[in-house]
Structure 1
Amino acid sequence: MRVPYEYAIIRAVPRVERGELINVGVVLYCQRLDFLCARTHLHEQRLLALDPNADLDNIRAALKSWEITCAGGTDGGAARELKQGERFRWMVAPRSTILQAGPVHMGLAENPDAELDRLVALLVH
């Protein structure tokens, strides 16, 4: 049985003032199956083409934090107190930072985990 899900592409915008970006991950939320997960991949050469001075270590750490936030956090912080849907909405809210979520899209899938893999392969790699 296919169930609805929501997803957003995670984008790296190394120089916000220029508005140039690359796709670096996908966050997917399926309320019906209690699924919230982010998968990321940083293509370093693409990012450095946009900003040769990009801090790759900090960007990798920030991407890891998206994955940790989906899991509810590991430090007992604010993410742990939020329900999955609240975490998803917080993560995809507009912001002016190096990592930003694109618009939220919807779809139907039997297996959200496999669908997340498909979306990352299609939109990020």
Structure 2
Amino acid sequence: MRVPYEYAIIQAVPRIERGELINVGVVLYSQRLDFLAARTHLHEERLRALDPKADVPAIAAALSAWEATCTGAGAAAAMKQGERFRWLVAPRSTILRAGPVHMGLAVDPATELDRLLTLLVR
């Protein structure tokens, strides 16, 4: 049986003032299946095309923090999954941000997350 899920593309915006971005991951939440996870892929050449001086290790560390937040690590430990998802997709003006939230239906959210990463990021 397919169940509903919500997802957003994780975007890197190395120079906020220019507004250029690349897709670097996907975060997916299914309340019904108690599933929240992020998958990321940082394409360094594409990032450097937008900003040759981009701090790739810092961006990679920030992406790891998104993945850790999904698992409830650190300050997110006291938050429920839905709260963590809403916190991650809230509008922000930082080097990483979430695009608009979209809905879908899937049998297995982990498989769907991998599919979305391949389709939208890789």
TM-score when normalising by structure 2: 0.99
Residue in 1 that maps onto 2:119: 122
Q: Can you give the 5+ residue segments of structure 1 that lack an aligned partner in the other structure? A: none
Structure 2: how far apart are the matches of 1:71 and 1:89?
Answer: 14
Structure 1: how far apart are the matches of 2:97 and 2:83?
Answer: 17
* % identical aligned pairs: 77
Alpha-carbon RMSD: 0.4
Structure 1: how far apart are the matches of 2:118 and 2:78?
Answer: 31
Task: Report how many aligned residue pairs link the two structures.
Answer: 122
1:54 to partner: Cα distance: 0.2
Q: Can you give the 5+ residue segments of structure 2 that lack an aligned partner in the other structure? A: none
1:41 to partner: Cα distance: 0.3
Q: Does 1:65 align with 2:65?
A: yes
Structure 2: how far apart are the matches of 1:33 and 1:117?
Answer: 17
TM-score when normalising by structure 1: 0.97
Once the two structures are superposed, what CA deviation does each residue of 1:3-31 show, in whole Å capped at 9, x if it has no partner?
A: 00000000000000100000000000000
Residue in 2 that maps onto 1:42: 42
Structure 2: how far apart are the matches of 1:57 and 1:119?
Answer: 24
